[in-house]
Amino acid sequence: MNLVLVVLSCPQFTRPNLLDRPFVAILRDERQDQGDGAFGYVFEAANGIRESRVGYPGSKGQTNMQESYRFPLDDGTFAKVRFVADEFGFRAESPLLPTPHPLPAHAVAQIRVAEEQRRRGIQF
């Protein structure tokens, strides 16, 4: 009997019903595949969500991509993100992304010294 009481007293979790969410019309969904690794697509929904991406073969066998997307925030504005992924790595730009703290003065001075030494051919 105790086991049954313990089981019955456990919190009950339910999955959200996706049908309870508001319907959002898809305004645009365009896709292209060139067959050689190059591709592009654009997606846009009535609630302001928009995404576009292009890709093309890179020089080292990777797929290079450029993408931008946006989505609505609770305050009515839109979050915007742009990124590039290529031979030089992944680089994202957005006002939403955190930025590093400025370097302290002594670190900036050390970097300048190292750059000067490198310029003069000094190696360690």
**pLDDT number for residue 18:** 67
**pLDDT number for residue 10:** 59
Alpha-carbon separation of residue 37 from 32, 57, 87 (angstroms): 11, 5, 15
Which strands sit side by side in the sheet containing 26-33, from one edge to the other?
A: 26-33, 39-45, 50-57, 63-72, 78-86, 89-93
In this prediction, the residues of the chain whose per-residue pLDDT falls under 70 are 1-13, 16, 18
pLDDT in tens, 66-90: 999 999 999 999 999 999 999 989 9
